[in-house]
Structure 1
Amino acid sequence: MTYVVTVDTCIPEGTPEMDPLQRAGAVALVEDGFDSVRAIEGPDGVAVELLDTIVAVHPGGALLKVIVDAPALEFAEDSVRALVDELLERSELLADWTIERCEVELHQDLARKSLDAAEGPDAPPDDPATRKARHTGGPTPEGAEEAYDGEAKAAAVRSRMLGVAAELRSFPPAVFGVPGEEGDGRADGDGEFTVSPASAALAAGALVHAIDILVDELFEDVQVLTQEDTTVAECEGPLWHLERLPDRYALQYDARFARRFLVTVIAMTTRFTDGSFERLSCVAEELALRFLLSQAIVTLELHGLLDDEVAAALDAFAGNAYEDMDHEWLYDGATDGIDASALGVGLDGAPIAFGSWFTPFGEDRYVHPSATDEPEAAAR
């Protein structure tokens, strides 16, 4: 069976957070370690095949997704923990890192079979749309079973968002349109909203909340494309987000692209939350931010939390985070059929052709090493 093992590793307690150069070095060490392994010897000598890995390093450690073929869940988890332990010990620079979490996630097809077989009052809904609504906190589709009290759920979601708002360390309230501590959210003479600190906090919390959902669902998209060995245009399985990328390049969104896009999302949102964000680094990050904003808005709307003031706060955030909106050209149906070279640069000369989506806008921009362009890709 195919299992996805999620491993959270952390730097030693009390150690300063890693800077970009140290994070790049950690990525190289971990990926080189995985590249040297083809199979793992699990408990009782059972062989566990290593199928794929995704490495995302952040200032406080690394998030690893290790995809293995194992006879049982326990073998997968124990084998991956032993492997990661060994990889860390091999490197003098990573020897003191610790494993905070190592858990198995069933592959999507197996999870569906398990859900279909589940019984009892606490079993997940059989209907995939209902399960997706429950996962995202959305309303139950018409005709499906009742899931929960909408008002109570909305209050709980609002409280959770406000509780995590401070984690968006790179963006003070002014980025969300708060003019000062006195902002009260009332419309000014032109009918435009002055955003209050409370609404700015809810908008910030919605973005942090959306990060978790977006990353988890993109992991599932990566796994679906990997399992089918296909592209978004030809994929038969369900996808959460990648179908919302510009249609003109759907035949080029394969599993490798999906992994690079996922790593880009993680790298961008890490800078959002660790306080190091300055500017978006590449076209892929511009698209990633579009997805993040969309996810935040959808969640707020589902729970009746998106009033005019919160919407204004998100608009202000987008206006400050984006330097321009040239990437919107990629969604312009009027340009379909135009040669890619005609879409090669935006108004400011930044590259937007598909082969340059992961190319930094400048030498001062940070793109994760696992997502950077290969020479032949950049030439397309």
Structure 2
Amino acid sequence: MDYVVTAELEPPVDATELDALQREGVAALLDRQLALVEGVAGPAEAEIDVLDYRITVHPSGASVVLALDAPALLPAEQAAATVLNELIGESELLVGWSVAHSEVRITEDEFNESLAAAERIGAADDSGLEAAIEEALESAEESEATLDTEQWRSRLTELSGRLRAFDLDAFGTDSAETARLAAGALIHAVRVVTDEIFYDELALAINNATADDAVGLLVLEELPQCYEHRYDSWFARAFLLSSAAVASRLTDRDWTPPRTVAEALALRLFVNEAQVLLEAAELMTWDEGEPVFAAFARRAFADTGHEDLYLVDFMPLGDSEDQLSARLEAQFRERGLTFEQWFAPRESEAGMHPYLRPSSEEHPTEA
């Protein structure tokens, strides 16, 4: 039986709230450790498989959602606690952390109903599992209350102070309020895009799919279409690390422009999401926001040339008889824009996460 267990991890009692950089670090550490876990021994030596997971880090700790194949509800909860306790115990960076609780947030009957409903509409088994997990994830997250325009104005103004890498004049407007709203929207966009990458990675991993044949992706479909056949779950995890690096630098005192194509694409997603939010909250129309964020882009982006990737609809999987596609691929390679070059820094590998392999290495084949 498949169960979805939600566990809360808490830092030491005397710890202060986690800042943005610490949250990204905790998320990366938990993701790296959980990616290595395939199963755990349950009662009577029963093997409990870890099917998938999702991590959300907040100022007071972390929420971890585990999809487990277990014989019953209680062993599923115990197995989740065991996995996380062992993970904490083996990491020097999580000394003092603890598992506050571990519980199934979707019952067996509810899971079966979700799975049966998916099968009735002709979905494959993996899609049914995805639907059940999605339902559990939605119930595990706190639903954000609908905010009116003034509430959004207050929230974004408060968040604006976290964009430490830029002064308000980076937005090219004489209105301090407009600049603060744009800055706050960028910080909020980081949270939204990060959650969406987590969801997309889960969807791709469950279905062993790439973005070109997946349905319902939230953010990866906004990346250049020419390489969407390369966006698998490994790519989503690597892209998440790149986006985390950009997000952390937005909160630093000094700005470091995107070092890779992937980082430039992540920053573009943050900017687009910020504009969407401001328009939805009726604080700034898209037309009003364009010059504001265009000014920011001139300050924030390095000359990676990533915009040109959006001008091409498709790139061949390998050698192609299409001379035009072959020439485009060759031109992209000369400019450092081919898919294999997205995670390679332009100047140096200093400070790059080890998970982001050099362009000469192939990423692991997903099971």
| TM-score normalized by the length of structure 1 | 0.68
The runs of 5 or more residues in structure 1 that have no matched partner are 118-127, 138-146, 178-193
Question: Is 1:343 equivalent to 2:343 in the alignment?
Answer: no
Question: Counterparts of 2:272 and 2:143 in 1: how far apart (Å)?
Answer: 13
Counterpart contact for 1:232–1:251, Cα < 8 Å: yes
Question: Is 1:13 equivalent to 2:8 in the alignment?
Answer: no
> Closer, same or farther in 2 for the Cα pair 1:136/1:311, shift >3 Å?
farther
Question: Is 1:327 equivalent to 2:306 in the alignment?
Answer: yes
> What pairs up with 1:101-180 in 2 under 5 angstroms?
113=114, 153-177=148-172
Out of 213, 217, 226, the position equivalent to 2:205 is 226
> Closer, same or farther in 2 for the Cα pair 1:270/1:81, shift >3 Å?
farther
Q: Give the % identical residues.
A: 32
Out of 367, 373, 376, the position equivalent to 2:352 is 367
**Cross-structure match for 2:258:** 280
> Closer, same or farther in 2 for the Cα pair 1:74/1:305, shift >3 Å?
farther
Equivalent AA in structure 2 for residue 87 of structure 1: L
Equivalent AA in structure 2 for residue 154 of structure 1: T
**Cross-structure match for 2:130:** none
Counterpart contact for 2:3–2:68, Cα < 8 Å: yes
Q: Deviations over 1:223-267 (max 9, x none)?
A: 1111111111122x3111112222221221111112211222223
Question: Counterparts of 1:365 and 1:330 in 2: how far apart (Å)?
Answer: 26
> What pairs up with 1:228-267 in 2 under 5 angstroms?
228-235=207-214, 237-267=215-245
> Closer, same or farther in 2 for the Cα pair 1:78/1:201, shift >3 Å?
farther
Counterpart contact for 1:6–1:101, Cα < 8 Å: yes
Question: Counterparts of 1:254 and 1:94 in 2: how far apart (Å)?
Answer: 30
Counterpart contact for 1:360–1:366, Cα < 8 Å: no
Counterpart contact for 1:221–1:242, Cα < 8 Å: yes
How far is the alpha carbon of 1:374 from its aligned partner? 6.3
Q: Deviations over 1:285-331 (max 9, x none)?
A: 11111111111111211222114665433222221110125011111
Counterpart contact for 1:281–1:365, Cα < 8 Å: no
Question: Counterparts of 2:143 and 2:20 in 1: how far apart (Å)?
Answer: 32
CA RMSD of the aligned region, Å?
4.5
**Cross-structure match for 1:377:** 362
SS at match of 1:338: helix
**Cross-structure match for 2:291:** 312
Question: Counterparts of 1:241 and 1:105 in 2: how far apart (Å)?
Answer: 26
Q: Deviations over 1:76-119 (max 9, x none)?
A: 5553333222222234453234557877777xx969939x89xx
> Closer, same or farther in 2 for the Cα pair 1:112/1:356, shift >3 Å?
farther
**Cross-structure match for 1:39:** 39
**Cross-structure match for 2:185:** 206
> Closer, same or farther in 2 for the Cα pair 1:15/1:338, shift >3 Å?
same
Out of 176, 180, 194, the position equivalent to 1:215 is 194
| TM-score normalized by the length of structure 2 | 0.70
Q: Deviations over 1:170-221 (max 9, x none)?
A: 22223223xxxxxxxxxxxxxxxx3322111100111122122211122111
> What pairs up with 1:289-308 in 2 under 5 angstroms?
289-307=267-285
Shifted more, 53-62 versus 254-263: the winner is 53-62
**Cross-structure match for 1:120:** none
Question: Counterparts of 1:3 and 1:41 in 2: how far apart (Å)?
Answer: 17
Counterpart contact for 1:280–1:322, Cα < 8 Å: yes
Counterpart contact for 2:185–2:274, Cα < 8 Å: yes
> Closer, same or farther in 2 for the Cα pair 1:63/1:357, shift >3 Å?
farther
Equivalent AA in structure 1 for residue 96 of structure 2: D
Question: Counterparts of 1:311 and 1:112 in 2: how far apart (Å)?
Answer: 46
Question: Counterparts of 1:155 and 1:294 in 2: how far apart (Å)?
Answer: 22
Question: Counterparts of 2:56 and 2:255 in 1: how far apart (Å)?
Answer: 17
Equivalent AA in structure 2 for residue 330 of structure 1: L
Shifted more, 70-79 versus 286-295: the winner is 70-79
How far is the alpha carbon of 1:67 from its aligned partner? 4.5
How far is the alpha carbon of 1:34 from its aligned partner? 5.8
Equivalent AA in structure 2 for residue 3 of structure 1: V
**Cross-structure match for 2:126:** none
Question: Counterparts of 1:165 and 1:38 in 2: how far apart (Å)?
Answer: 41
Question: Counterparts of 2:275 and 2:111 in 1: how far apart (Å)?
Answer: 31
How far is the alpha carbon of 1:50 from its aligned partner? 1.7
**Cross-structure match for 1:79:** 79
Equivalent AA in structure 1 for residue 354 of structure 2: P
Counterpart contact for 2:4–2:67, Cα < 8 Å: yes
> Closer, same or farther in 2 for the Cα pair 1:266/1:297, shift >3 Å?
same
Question: Counterparts of 1:195 and 1:112 in 2: how far apart (Å)?
Answer: 56
Equivalent AA in structure 2 for residue 258 of structure 1: A
> What pairs up with 1:49-60 in 2 under 5 angstroms?
49-52=49-52
Question: Counterparts of 1:279 and 1:101 in 2: how far apart (Å)?
Answer: 40
> Closer, same or farther in 2 for the Cα pair 1:220/1:90, shift >3 Å?
closer
Shifted more, 153-162 versus 225-234: the winner is 153-162
